[in-house]
């Protein structure tokens, strides 16, 4: 068992050793560090385990005879951690005798394994009857040439500019090259001072052209310094990540030759970055690399140094010397700074107080300017019908936060009465915030009027007013948020699919008519809306109608049936009698509602300049089509069918009655609402009778009397708040 155990241990050590040598990332102990006067540093080495084993290009040879360090058979000058290896390479040449016969010559072809030529080298040709080619091989094969001609000895020295000497750049990435010199006339014309053509690679800046010596014999130089580029592997720093061989206190950088990576010590460190702990701190204080005037004040730390003055002294950064602190000036400076800060804080406090006072005065100014005094006066009961109204007052900051600074993306719509924004209150409730457009005192009165009107209305089909804000330059009204846009959008817009059925349209007409009837007859003070149109009728998610925009509305005193006012409204919906006389009464709303009812029935706009000359106004267009018995032509097929044709014609008759030229000929909104609701009940009854025929017979037996087609309401009442008819039942009919 002992022999077997021993064999196992030997096998383990052998495998470990072979793996170590094959993938060695750091040199073994005892590796040679010198060959002649050249220092050998990892990843280069001269024996297995001493060089980076993943690339045999790092395996150098130390010639024990002449103690020269060789890369292949090329002498090495030095090794740079930055990825450069300097070697000495012999020149190529071709020499001729006086008869023009080739006497001797050498063409160099050199392979560099995985190392490549650096761009720091220059391809150089020396001779007055010479040209040469440099052929390189590697990532891409490349050939270049250089030519030098002169009929006599050039005068200038040190300049390789084409007269007796020319130079070209060397491409990056070549791991093999060949140098071939030639002569145009075999040097017969210049043999006396230049018998040879020379071509060689040399590190840039290390060759100074000597006219006499170099043209004659190249100063008998046997080799020139050449820079080779080397790197670790074929991956970038990002690709190798934490698996690079860079040691502690060093960093990885991508090789300038475009393949692999190199390592360098951090600033303030020195050593071999390719060893585990090769980079060590530079003690600037002992190596005289500091700039402290007094070396005794120098304090070293890992990666740097600082100058520390003794107590009572300060460091003068201009001279890096220690100077005694001036206590008096310090106290004066400190006192000055403290005094300045006190004054600054005082001025800032006063400015804040003044700014706060100015903002308060400005808000008060806006409050009065926007009719705040008028609103308070009317809310206190000075105006009849305005007492005991609860209006919530919102702050300027609250409104700004709710609309995200009145961002354009929050705009819901714009019209003659102002701009409406979508707002989000602190409790996350969504509201509609209307910014009124005020230009004079009459418009301020309209704004306050809208607040008062809406505050007194409590109806399921009227947009609820939540409050207002008068502290801003432009006053604001806060409403409940209605989700599904306006009736105009649904009938004519592109935001919604115009798929309202006849039942939807009739129900919306009943709801709007009932709301106007409530405003005219059931409110504490009769209210005339004065701007009834489809754009002022909102629809919620259930398509329930909500009458909005009461900026033009008027309160009618109990002792008056009409008012004389400045004409206001929207073309297409404006009552022609009110337009001509300026006399406002509830029949003006009846006319506007009649236009809305025509829009609901026909799907046509109230005013359309694309229609024929006599039909641009919907009222004339509708009336003409009805009179000529072609109403079906202006009503879409998705609305009218055989089942509802009769109800549509009945509703059309009501719309025409509402839009008669004189107000006396128009029915009241209460009568219109009752008649439409009766029509809606009849429509529902007909649908029900299709499924349950006995229902119609039972109702006929009960003798339910619906409002007559002539507008007679003697047998019918109307509950405008709940939108239901009150039907009288006469026994025996």
Q: What is the 3-state secondary structure (H, E, C) of 276-341?
A: CCCEEECCCCCCCCCCCCCHHHEEEECCEEEECCCCCEEEECCCCEEEECCHHHHHHHHHHHHHHH
Laid out side by side, the sheet with 121-126 consists of 102-106, 92-96, 196-203, 121-126, 165-169
The reported pLDDT for the residue numbered 519 is 87
The reported pLDDT for the residue numbered 293 is: 82
Confidence of residue 702 (pLDDT cuts 50, 70, 90): very low
What is the C-alpha to C-alpha distance for residues 520 and 516, in angstroms, rounded to an integer? 6
Q: Mean pLDDT throughout 229-252?
A: 94
Residue 328 has a pLDDT of 64
Instruction: Return the HEC string of 460-488.
Output: CCECCEEEEECCCCCCEEEEECCCCCEHH
Residue 115, classified by CB atoms within 10 Å of its CB into exposed (0-12), middle (13-18) or buried (19+), is buried
Q: 696 pLDDT exceeds 80?
A: no
The half-sphere exposure of 585 on its side-chain side, counting CA atoms within 13 A, is 16
Strand partners, 701: none
Q: What is the pLDDT of residues 61-88, one digit of tens each?
A: 999 889 999 999 999 999 999 999 999 9
pLDDT at position 381: 64
Residue 329: band (very low, low, confident or very high) from pLDDT cuts 50, 70, 90? confident
DSSP label of 152: S
Residues ≥6 apart with Cβ < 8 Å to 19: none
Q: At what angle do helices 586-602 and 618-627 cross, to 10 degrees?
A: 70
Which residues of the chain does CATH 1.10.510.10 include? Answer: 486-733
Most confident of 15-29, 65-79, 607-621: 65-79
More confident position, 516 or 524: 516
Q: What is the mean pLDDT of residues 508-534?
A: 87
pLDDT over 90 percentage in the chain: 43
Q: Which stretch of 140-149, 362-371, 397-406, 451-460 has the lowest confidence by average pLDDT?
A: 451-460
Region label for 485, one of left (φ > 0), alpha (ψ between -120 and 50) or beta (otherwise): left
**Closest C-alpha to 89, from 108, 107, 106:** 108
CATH 3.30.200.20 range(s) for the chain read 357-481
Greatest alpha-carbon span in the chain: 152
φ, ψ of residue 617 to 5 degrees: the values are: -85, 130
3-state secondary structure of 418: strand
- Ordered alpha helix ranges (H), 457-609: 487-492, 502-517, 576-581, 586-602
The residue-averaged pLDDT of 341-365 equals 89
Q: Calculate the alpha carbon distances from 10 to 2, 28, 524, 599, 712 in Å.
A: 12, 20, 111, 103, 121
Question: Among 170-174, 249-253, 500-504, 553-557, which stretch is predicted with the lowest mean pLDDT?
Answer: 553-557
User: Shortest CA distance to 565 belongs to which of 482, 449, 652?
Assistant: 449
How sure is the predictor about 420, in pLDDT bands with cuts at 50, 70 and 90? confident
In sequence order, which ranges of 692-728 are alpha helices (DSSP H)?
Answer: 694-702
Task: Please report which confidence band the pLDDT of residue 441 belongs to, taking 50, 70 and 90 as the band edges.
Answer: low
697 or 215, which is more confident: 215
**What pLDDT score was predicted for residue 699?**
38
Which one of 1.10.510.10, 3.30.460.30, 3.40.50.300, 1.20.1070.10 gives the CATH number of domain 486-733?
1.10.510.10
What sign results for the dihedral spanned by CA atoms 275, 276, 282, 287?
A: negative
Q: What is the mean pLDDT of residues 347-354?
A: 91
Question: What is the architecture of the domain spanning 357-481?
Answer: 2-Layer Sandwich (3.30)
pLDDT greater than 70 at residue 697: no
| Residue 717: per-residue pLDDT | 43
Question: Phi/psi at 227 (nearest 5 deg)?
Answer: -100, 130
Helix (H) or strand (E) holding 685: helix 669-691
In 112-201, which ranges are continuous DSSP H helix?
Answer: none
Say what the pLDDT of residue 557 is: 47
Nearest to 165 by CA among 115, 225, 110, 209: 209
Q: Is the backbone peptide bond immediately before 43 cis, with ω within 30 degrees of 0?
A: yes
Query: Is pLDDT of 594 > 90?
Result: yes
**In the predicted model, is pLDDT for residue 189 greater than 60?**
yes
When pLDDT is averaged across residues 273-277 and rounded to a whole number, the result is 92
Average pLDDT over residues 532-539: 92
- Residues 576 and 99: their CA atoms lie apart, in Å, by 124
pLDDT of 385 over the 70 cut: no
Task: Give the separation between CA 541 and CA 260, rounded to whole angstroms.
Answer: 66
Would you state the pLDDT for residue 7? Answer: 44
Three-class SS state of 9? helix
Residue 62: the pLDDT is 95
The secondary structure of residue 518, as a DSSP letter, is I
More confident residue, 722 or 247: 247
Mean pLDDT of the 498-505 span: 85
Distance CA 229, CA 175 (A): 9
Residue with the larger pLDDT of the pair 703 and 362: 362
Backbone dihedral angles phi then psi of residue 375, each to the nearest 5 degrees: -65, -45
Q: Judge whether residue 659 has pLDDT over 50.
A: yes
Local structure of 641: helix, strand or coil? coil
Q: Are 247 and 263 in contact (CB under 8 A)?
A: yes
695 pLDDT exceeds 60?
A: no
The torsion of the CA quartet 655, 660, 661, 665, rounded to 10 degrees, works out to -140
pLDDT at 492: 86
What local confidence, expressed as pLDDT, does residue 97 receive? 93
d(CA 569, CA 180) in angstroms, rounded, equals 99
Q: Check residue 26 and report its DSSP letter.
A: S
CA-to-CA distance for 554 and 582, rounded, in angstroms? Answer: 13
Residue 450: CB partners within 8 Å, gap ≥ 6?
A: 477, 550, 551, 553
User: Are β-strands 465-469 and 476-480 bridged in parallel, bridged antiparallel, or unpaired?
Assistant: antiparallel
End-to-end CA distance of the chain, in Å? 125
Neighbours of 533 (CB within 10 A): 24
Asked if pLDDT for residue 237 goes beyond 90, the answer is: yes
Tell me the per-residue pLDDT of 542-583, one tens digit each, with 9 for 90 and over.
899 999 877 655 555 444 455 555 667 788 899 999 888 888
Using the 8-state DSSP alphabet, how is residue 521 labeled? I
Res 494: pLDDT = 63
CB atoms within 10 A of CB 97: 14
What mean pLDDT comes out for the span 636-648? 81
DSSP-H helix ranges across 370-440: 372-379, 396-402
Give the pLDDT of residue 552.
57
Give 457 or 390, the one with higher predicted confidence: 457
**What is the average pLDDT score of the chain?**
82
Q: Are 672 and 517 in contact, with CB atoms under 8 Å apart?
A: yes
pLDDT at 497: 61
3 state SS of 534: helix
In this predicted structure, the answer to whether residue 501 has a pLDDT above a threshold of 80 is yes
What pLDDT is attached to residue 234? 92
Catalytic residue numbers read 531
> When comparing pLDDT for 540 and 436, which is higher?
540
Alpha carbons 140 and 92: distance in angstroms, whole number: 23
Burial of 611 (0-12, 13-18, 19+ CB in 10 A): middle
In angstroms, the Cα distances linking 507 to 202, 672, 680, 696 are: 98, 13, 7, 21
How many angstroms separate the CA atoms of 267 and 282, rounded? 9
Which residues, including other chains, have CB under 8 Å from residue 53's CB and lie 6 or more apart? 21, 22, 23, 24
What is the helix (H) or strand (E) element at residue 653, kind and residue range? helix 645-658
pLDDT of residue 693: 46
Contacts of 20 (CB under 8 A, 6+ apart): 49
Residue 308 pLDDT exceeds 80 = yes
Q: Which helix (H) or strand (E) holds 618?
A: helix 618-627
- Contact criterion met (CB below 8 Å) for 402 and 476: no
CB 224 within 8 A of CB 201: yes
């Amino acid at each position: 068992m002992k022999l077997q155990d021993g064999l196992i241990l030997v096998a383990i050590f052998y495998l470990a050793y072979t793996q170590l040598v094959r993938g060695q990332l750091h040199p073994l102990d005892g590796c040679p560090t010198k060959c002649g006067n050249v220092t050998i540093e990892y990843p280069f080495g001269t024996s297995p385990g001493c060089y980076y084993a993943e690339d045999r290009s790092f395996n150098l040879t130390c010639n024990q005879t002449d103690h020269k360090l060789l890369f292949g058979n090329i002498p090495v000058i030095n090794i740079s951690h930055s990825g450069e290896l300097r070697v000495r390479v012999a020149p190529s040449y071709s020499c001729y005798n006086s008869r023009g016969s080739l006497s001797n010559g050498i063409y160099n072809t050199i392979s560099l394994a995985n190392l490549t030529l650096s761009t720091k080298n220059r391809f150089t040709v020396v001779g007055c009857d010479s040209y040469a080619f440099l052929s390189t091989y590697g990532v891409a094969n490349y050939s270049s040439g250089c030519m030098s001609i002169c009929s006599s000895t050039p005068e200038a020295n040190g300049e390789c500019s084409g007269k007796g000497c020319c130079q070209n750049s060397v491409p990056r990435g070549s791991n093999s090259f060949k140098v071939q010199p030639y002569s145009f006339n075999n040097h017969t014309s210049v043999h006396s001072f230049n018998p040879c053509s020379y071509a060689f690679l040399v590190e840039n800046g290390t060759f100074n052209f000597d006219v006499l010596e170099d043209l004659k014999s190249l100063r008998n130089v046997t080799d020139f310094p050449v820079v080779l580029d080397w790197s670790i592997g074929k991956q970038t720093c990002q690709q190798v990540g934490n698996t690079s061989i860079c040691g502690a206190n060093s960093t990885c950088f991508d090789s300038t030759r475009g393949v692999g990576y190199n390592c360098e010590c951090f600033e303030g460190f020195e050593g071999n970055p390719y060893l585990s702990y090769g980079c060590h701190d530079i003690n600037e204080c002992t190596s005289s690399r500091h700039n402290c005037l007094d070396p005794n004040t120098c304090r070293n730390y890992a990666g740097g140094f600082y100058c520390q003055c003794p107590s009572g002294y300060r460091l003068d950064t201009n001279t890096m010397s220690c100077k005694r602190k001036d206590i008096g000036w310090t106290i004066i400076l400190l006192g000055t700074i403290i005094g300045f800060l006190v004054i600054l804080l005082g001025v800032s406090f006063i400015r804040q107080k003044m700014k706060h006072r100015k903002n308060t005065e400005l808000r008060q100014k806006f409050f009065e300017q926007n009719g705040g005094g008028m609103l308070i006066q009317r809310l206190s009961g000075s105006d009849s019908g305005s007492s005991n109204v609860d209006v919530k007052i919102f702050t300027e900051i609250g409104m700004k936060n709710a609309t995200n600074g009145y961002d354009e993306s929050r705009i819901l719509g714009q019209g003659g009465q102002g701009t409406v924004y979508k707002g989000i209150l602190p409790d996350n409730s969504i509201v509609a915030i209307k910014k009124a457009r005020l230009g004079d005192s009459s418009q301020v009165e309209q704004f306050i009027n809208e607040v008062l009107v809406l505050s007194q209305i409590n109806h399921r089909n009227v947009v609820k007013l939540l409050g207002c804000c008068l502290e801003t330059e432009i006053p604001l009204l806060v409403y409940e948020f209605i989700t599904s846009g306006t009736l105009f959008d649904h009938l004519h817009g592109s935001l919604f699919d115009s798929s309202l059925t006849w039942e939807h349209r009739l129900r919306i007409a009943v709801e709007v008519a009932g709301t106007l009837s409530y405003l005219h007859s059931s409110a504490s003070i009769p209210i005339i809306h004065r701007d009834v149109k489809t754009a002022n009728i909102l629809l919620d998610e259930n398509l329930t109608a909500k009458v909005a925009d009461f900026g033009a509305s008027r309160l009618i005193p109990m002792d008056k049936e009409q008012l004389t006012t400045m004409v206001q409204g929207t073309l297409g919906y404006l009552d022609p009698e009110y337009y001509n006389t300026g006399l406002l009464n509830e029949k003006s709303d009846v006319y506007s509602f009649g236009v809305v009812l025509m829009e609901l029935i026909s799907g046509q706009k109230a005013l359309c300049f694309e229609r024929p000359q006599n039909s641009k106004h919907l009222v004339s267009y509708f009336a003409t089509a009805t009179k000529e018995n072609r109403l079906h032509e202006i009503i879409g097929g998705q609305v009218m069918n055989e089942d509802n044709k009769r109800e549509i014609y009945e509703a059309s008759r009501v719309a025409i009655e509402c839009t008669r030229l004189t107000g006396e000929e128009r029915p009241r909104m209460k009568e219109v609402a009752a008649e439409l609701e009766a029509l809606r009940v009849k429509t529902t009854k007909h649908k029900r009778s299709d499924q349950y025929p006995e229902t119609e017979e039972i109702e006929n037996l009960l003798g339910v009397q619906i409002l007559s087609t002539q507008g007679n309401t003697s047998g019918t009442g109307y509950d405008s708040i709940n939108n239901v008819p009150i039907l009288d039942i006469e026994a025996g009919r």
